[in-house]
Structure 1
Amino acid sequence: MRVFLALSLLAGPVAAATHEVDSAATLSAALRSLKAGDVVKIAPGDYAPGNFVTGIADLTIEARDPKNPPYFKGGKEAWHFSRCPGLTLRHLKVSGQSGNGINLDDGGEMERPVVKVLIEGVEVSDIGPDGNFDAIKCSGLDDLTIRDCRISGWGGQAIDFVGCHKSLITGCVFTGKPGFSQHTGPQFKGGCEDIVIEKCRFKDAGERPIQAGGSTGMDYFRPPGAKYEARRITVRENTIEGGMCATAFTGVDGAEFTGNTVKSPEKWIFRVLQETKAEGFPPCRNVVISGNSFVFQRAKVKDEINIGADTAPETFRFEDNHWLAEDKPEASTPKLPVVEKGGSYGKQASGTKRKTPGPE
């Protein structure tokens, strides 16, 4: 028996394309025709907000000229990416949104995180200005890197991680502005795990410049059923100047705060809080605070640590930190919930080399 094979076009995937964009019309056309692996290069100029991309893998959207980035002004959101693994956003400018500046999510598929996203050299400003509106919002992302970005003036969070894992924020600058509510800077909650924030600079970055933990509705945890707001959070080698405190540990189950420089907090140096009190959630606990420099005004900082109810401050560990009340060096010794090992206080550390630069 003879067999006839109908040879239709058995082509493989369509090759990725590079889209050169220089106007709102060409941007809109490029976004309508995207395929996996495409690159969108955007020329300098002003562009409309409200750009939505869903289900495109390995997409790159970047400035044609990194020194003169495209500018996405106003509207509710500048960009929203849903289920876009392998996404790269590079050298964009976003400003003046009433909702979130940039929003990335898993499309509600909470057991299937979006992986390998890079946000680099992006500038986001003037978001909100009031209420729970974020400069960069990330929900359900793993292996996410946010590098060398600048964020100034926001409503809720500068960066909001909800159920993100194995991710890094590095080399970013966060600057608060008058007239913006700025509840927290970067925040890690809703089942976040294995997050590092390092080598960043903060200047007057709100009530809680960094928040390890938080308060999340039970339906939004990733993975579903997680019994921790955040765990294994590392805050290292940052400079934090101003703000109500340096960092709030809020229902976190394990964190490290190491090698940071904290200068001129307005009221406290740390807050230890428990906002999620559902069954099975442990108290805020197991935080190591080591090798940091704290320079403050005793006239402002009456208590170094604000300890809320239902927390476990006795599980914290303090080691080798330097504490200096600039206006009253003899009163530099902090009141801590446990005895510190190897700390130095005020004039006792006069021979110690200390680095206390302010943010750019």
Structure 2
Amino acid sequence: MRAFLLLCLMSCPVGAEVVVVKNTAELRAALGKLAKGDILKIGPGEYAADLHVAGIGDLTVEALDATAPPHFKGGKQAWHFSRCEGLKLRHVKCSGQSANGINLDDGGKREDPVKGILLEGVEVSDIGPKGNFDAIKCSGLQGLRIKDCTISGWGGQAIDLVGCSESVIEGCTITGKEGYSQHTGPQFKGGCRDITIRNCVLKNAGERPIQAGGSTGLDYFRPPGVKYEAKDIIIRDNTIEGGMCATAFTGVDGAEFTGNKIVNPEKWVFRVLQETKEEGFAPCRNVKIAGNEIRFLREKVGAEVNVGGGTAVETFRFEGNTWVATDRPERSKPKLPVEEVAGKYGE
């Protein structure tokens, strides 16, 4: 351990420190003294929640032992980081919060995104349980990366991105629970652009397991004045099982849905919606759905695509998807709003 701490000290920026805490009192005392570049290592055990850090750049908060993560229980929010550019949050566990598990934001400076945040190996569970309460809430972030995280049981969104850009969610496992309202899994809205979600597993992850777009009050868009809920969203190589549908495209201006595996959605496979209808906003459009494996029960799925008003569904493209109604293979061919190219049915 001593050699490990010496190595951390050697890797710190000049003037930064490695701080080790092992209980809630030590942690709260340390939070008031943190400075740019510090590494805060938290020992195993249970900790009180409602922790707030603001304006500290290049901060690392992580488990002292990644195999025994500290557990932040109860409270309103486990952690709230505001304008912490370059933050790295690794190997912590949060559960039982009544509002959000982890909240990351730009401090309300909607024209000045916070850059370079990493969440890795974070576990969040049992948030809410009902209402608009998120496991991970992110507002006004650029270059965010959420990697190898586990989320189970939440009220509103599993991961809520509002006005975020150039960001990636990868390798995460997101699972719904009985007794939680779980409106969506990962959601990208409020001016999000260039967001990728890949190699994730979503099981029973709410009414809309992935939502590209959404419905956002105009005062929350980032940057102010943008005229789309989401733009250039990539959903690739995920497994999506259950949920009311697999993915909802809701006021998105350009998206790709490729290489995914869909298993047994409850009512539809996709939804195409327009919930933000203010003047000048782009209709839901320009979505490519290609190379996916889609398995469903014809007994449950009557319409493969639910299309709402005010959308430009004629701009969607379906190419090379495999559709299998496992209970009625002969009825596998979907009724789509546009003709599919090179689709495979019942194989």
**After TM superposition, is the score higher than 0.5?**
yes
Q: Render the CA deviation track for 1:16-40: whole Å, top value 9, x for unaligned.
A: 0010010111101110100000000
- Following the alignment from structure 1 to structure 2, what is the Cα–Cα distance between the partners of residues 244 and 219? 30
The match for 1:345 is: 345
* Partner Cα distance (1:318, 1:73) in 2: 45
Q: Distance in 2 between matches of 1:230 and 1:264?
A: 26
Q: Which residue of 1 aligns with 2:316?
A: 316
Corresponding residue for 1:45?
Answer: 45
**How far, CA to CA, are the matches of 1:89 and 1:14 in structure 2?**
21
- Superposed CA deviations along residues 56-77 of structure 1, whole A, max 9, x for unmatched, are 0000000011111000000000
Give the Cα separation in 1 of the matches to 2:230 and 2:269. 20
Report matched runs for 1:13-24 at 5 Å: 15-24=15-24
Paired position in structure 2 for 1:120:
120
Alignment of 1:270-289 (within 5 A): 270-289=270-289
Per-residue deviation, residues 124-145 of structure 1 (Å, max 9, x unmatched): 0000000000000000000000
In the aligned structure 1, how far is the partner of 2:112 from the partner of 2:134?
23
Trace 1:46-85 onto structure 2 (pairs within 5 A): 46-85=46-85
How far apart, in 1, do the equivalents of 2:65 and 2:96 lie? Answer: 22
Residue 110 of structure 1 corresponds to 110
Give the partner amino acid of 1:259.
Answer: G
| Amino acid across the alignment from 2:200 | C
Partner of 2:216: 216
2:163 equivalent to 1:176: no
Q: Structure 1: how far apart are the matches of 2:139 and 2:269? A: 29
The percent of aligned pairs where both chains have the same amino acid is 69
Give the equivalent residue in structure 2 for 1:253: 253
Q: How many Å separate the matches in 2 of 1:345 and 1:282? A: 33
Q: Which residue of 1 aligns with 2:234?
A: 234
Report Cα offsets for 1:259-280 as digits up to 9, x if no partner. 0000010000000000000010
User: What is the letter of the counterpart of residue 68 of structure 1?
Assistant: A
Give the secondary-structure state (helix, strand or coil) at the position aligned to 1:298.
coil
- For residues 82 and 202 of structure 2, the distance between their equivalents in structure 1, rounded to whole angstroms, comes to 29
State the secondary structure of the residue aligned to 2:314: helix
* TM score, norm. by length of structure 1: 0.92
Between the aligned partners of 2:130 and 2:67, the Cα distance in structure 1 is 30
Instruction: Provide, for residues 188-238 of structure 1, a one-character-per-residue CA deviation record: whole Å limited to 9, x for no partner.
Output: 000000000000001110100000000000000000000000000000000
Tell me how far 1:14 sits from its aligned partner.
6.8
1:33 aligns with 2:33: yes
The question of 1:92 aligning with 2:92 is answered: yes
Structure 2 unmatched ranges of 5 or more: 1-12
Matches within 5 A, 1:112-191: 112-191=112-191
Letter in 1 for 2:169: I
d(CA) in 2 for partners of 1:52, 1:283: 38
Q: Which amino acid aligns with 1:117?
A: I
Give the length in aligned residue pairs: 335
What runs of 5+ residues in structure 1 fail to find an aligned partner? 1-12, 350-360
> Structure 2 counterpart of 1:200, which letter?
C
Name the CA distance, whole Å, in 1 between partners of 2:58 and 2:304. Answer: 46
Q: Give per-residue Cα distances to partners, 1:290-343, cap 9 Å, x unaligned.
A: 000000000000000000011111100000000000000000000001111110
- Give, in whole Å, the separation in 2 of the partners of 1:206 and 1:55: 34
1:130 maps to amino acid: K
> What letter corresponds to residue 319 of structure 1 in structure 2?
E
In the other structure, the counterpart of 2:4 is none
Question: SS of the counterpart of 2:195?
Answer: strand
Report the CA distance between 1:282 and its aligned residue: 1.4
Asked whether 1:196 is paired with 2:193, we answer: no
When normalised by structure 2's length, the TM-score is: 0.96
SS at match of 1:253: strand
Partner of 1:7: none
Question: 1:291, 1:122 → 2: CA distance?
Answer: 31
**Counterpart residue type for residue 79 of structure 1:** W
User: 2:7 maps to what in 1?
Assistant: none
Q: Distance in 2 between matches of 1:342 and 1:99?
A: 46
